[in-house]
Amino acid sequence: MNRPDRLEPGQAERLRAERDRDWRKALRRDISVQKRMAIDRQPMPEQEPWVRIKNFKEVNLGYTFDLARAEARRCLDCGQPGCVAGCPVAIDIPTFIKYIEAGEPEKALETIRRTNGLPAICGRVCPQEVQCEKECNLARAGREPVAIGHLERFVADYICLREGTGTAFHAGPGAPPRPEKIAVVGSGPGGLTAAADLARLGYRVTVFEALHLPGGVLAYGIPEFRLPREILESEINFIKTLGVEVRTNFIVGRTASLDDLRREGYAAFFLATGAGLPSFMNIPGENLLGVYSANEYLTRVNLMKGFRFPEFDTPVPGARKAAVIGGGNVAMDAVRTALRLGAGQATIYYRRSRAEMPARTEEVKHAGEEGIVFNFLTVPVRFLGNERGELRGMVLQRLALGEPDSSGRPRPVPIPGSEFEVEVDLAVVAIGQSPNPLLIRQLPDLKLGRWGNVEVNFQTMATSLPGIYAGGDVVRGGATVILAMGDGRRAARAIDEFLRTG
């Protein structure tokens, strides 16, 4: 896939100008590089593992002001900040961190929000270790990188939650109003980002969401112990203050077609419908009671509040022994949810080794601390049921790592004769998902890729159909929040260009 330029037009100059400001120079003079490098990374305060496995409250408690300033002092304010280039939405990271050091979190948030409308979320869920923090010059010098994600989260929480309003910060006046209406389909991070940017450019934007709550995976996938719902609501409220209308319980392609919306005057479309169609293993026994896709399992718990059954009328299967198949964030969320719902044993079965697991490092660490068992290089080949059609166990096979496959990772190869049986009464399959075909199948001329994903020009996110743009997981398959946001940002710019130039 093409990688778009990360710096916004003019951003390199802006970064240089920001860095040359007097207060920044004074901070640099204040503490030497050697002293900054000697400061250890400030640990994130957390709920103790034995406490948190009994609740759904957030695991990370967030930096205090003092911790945040101490961590901000570690940033060297480099001349060539690798972190900015490592961030898919090119946040001016050194500037926001130096504002924290200077004790001005409001200005830090203002800086972040120039390029990121969802900082409290990104600070919590972005895989910083393979993005901004990986490119931190401290890490290159053999020290732990600056905790950029923790600092981003601190800034957003400090401002937005301090007064309990969630919308204490306003983006200031946007561009003059434009007459065109734009429809965004899907209210995940991709759709919300495009909507916010288009509203700032002066357009009238409506986000259409199939579910009863906005947020996409942020609402129905990621559990509250990683992303509290009041944080999500606060971010969505902020976007609404920009003038964005959000219409829930509206399935584009069923409640109304794209043509209906065109007739209602929508001049351009951004499809951000995600990848909500779960993949299955296609092995015997997969339809037994007690075998779930991660999508269904997490939706029952997160969106339909099944964990508060019978207060909320969505039963979630309790389990004595829960097995989750997969090694990504989805698998980590499912297994830690099963544990919190009372499973005596909760185990991950992953077909590669620890080194290839795509889940965020922090989630794997937290899962390990909570007592999740990891079984690497194993894959189920059959689910076993009892006479009532309920899951009672699985037959697994051991694997070895072979030559790299098309993803560049070593291919897992079955070891003959290595099958073994385990007892489980809940299995959650978290091996990936693909785009929901409902809407895109109604557009016969829309060019699709090999996996049913929408094909786009990655510079503009334009699809093969004029006026229709797409981004996020519907284009990339299961990707990340920040990549979806980056797509939304580029699409907004391109839609603006399209509407201005005809």
Ligand X SMILES: Cc1cc2nc3c(=O)[nH]c(=O)nc-3n(C[C@H](O)[C@H](O)[C@H](O)COP(=O)(O)OP(=O)(O)OC[C@H]3O[C@@H](n4cnc5c(N)ncnc54)[C@H](O)[C@@H]3O)c2cc1C
Shortest Cβ distance from residue 86 to ligand X (Å)? 14
Between the alpha carbon of residue 495 and those of residues 192, 264, 333, the distances in Å are 15, 18, 35
Comparison of 95 and 453: residue with beta carbon closer to ligand X: 453
Per the CB < 8 A criterion, the answer to whether 255 and 206 are in contact is: no
Rounded Cα–Cα distance for residues 470 and 191 (Å): 9
Cβ nearer to ligand X, comparing 393 with 471: 471
Dihedral angle sign, alpha carbons of residues 58, 295, 130, 115: negative
- Centroid of chain to Cα 427: 24
Q: How far is the CB of 140 from ligand X (least distance, A)?
A: 24
Cβ closest to ligand X, residue 210 vs residue 316: 210
In the complex, the smallest distance separating the C-beta of residue 444 from ligand X, rounded to whole angstroms, is: 16
* Angstrom distance (rounded) from CA 82 to CA 429: 37
Q: Shortest gap between Cβ of 475 and ligand X (angstroms)? A: 8
CA dist 294 and 222 (Å) reads 11
Nearer to ligand X, 100 or 484 (CB): 484
Q: Counting Cβ atoms within 10 Å, is residue 392 exposed (0-12), middle (13-18) or buried (19+)?
A: middle
Q: Given the complex with ligand X, which of 206 and 347 has the nearer CB atom?
A: 206
Q: Which is nearer to ligand X, 95 or 295 (CB)?
A: 295
Order across the sheet with 245-247: list the strands: 245-247, 204-208, 181-185, 266-271, 468-470
Q: Quote the least distance from Cβ 18 to ligand X, whole Å.
A: 27
Q: Hey, what amino acid is at 141?
A: A
Nearer to ligand X, 137 or 337 (CB): 337
> 294 or 379: whose CB is closer to ligand X?
294
* Of 190 and 327, CB closest to ligand X: 190
Closest to ligand X by CB, 28 vs 181, is 181
CB of 207 to ligand X, least distance (A): 9
Minimum CB separation of residue 301 from ligand X in Å reads 11
Which of 105, 123 has the CB closer to ligand X?
123
| For residue 127, cis peptide bond before it (omega within 30 degrees of 0) | no
Give the contacts of 251 (CB within 8 A, at least 6 positions apart).
210, 438
What does the binding site for ligand X look like in residue numbers (CB under 6 A)?
A: 125-127, 185-191, 208-211, 216-217, 221-222, 251-253, 272-274, 276, 298, 329-330, 333, 360, 436, 438-439, 472-474, 479-482, 484
Q: Output the smallest distance, CB 193 to ligand X, in A.
A: 8
Q: With helix as H, strand as E and coil as C, how does 189-247 read? A: HHHHHHHHHHHHCCCEEEEECCCCCCCCHHHHCCCCCCCCHHHHHHHHHHHHHCCCEEE
Q: How far is it, in rounded angstroms, from Cα 416 to Cα 430? A: 25
Distances (CA, A) of 386 to 373, 379, 392, 393, 425: 25, 21, 6, 9, 10
CB of 476 to ligand X, least distance (A): 8
- The CA-atom distances, in angstroms, between 345 and each of 92, 225, 321, 336, 369 are 44, 19, 5, 11, 14
What phi, psi does 414 have (nearest 5°)?
A: -60, 140
Residue 491 CB, nearest distance to ligand X (Å)?
A: 11
Residue type, 416: P
Tell me the C-alpha distance between 197 and 461, whole Å: 15
Q: 99 with 21: CB under 8 angstroms?
A: no
Q: How far is the CB of 176 from ligand X (least distance, A)?
A: 28
Strands (E), 311-365: 321-325, 345-350
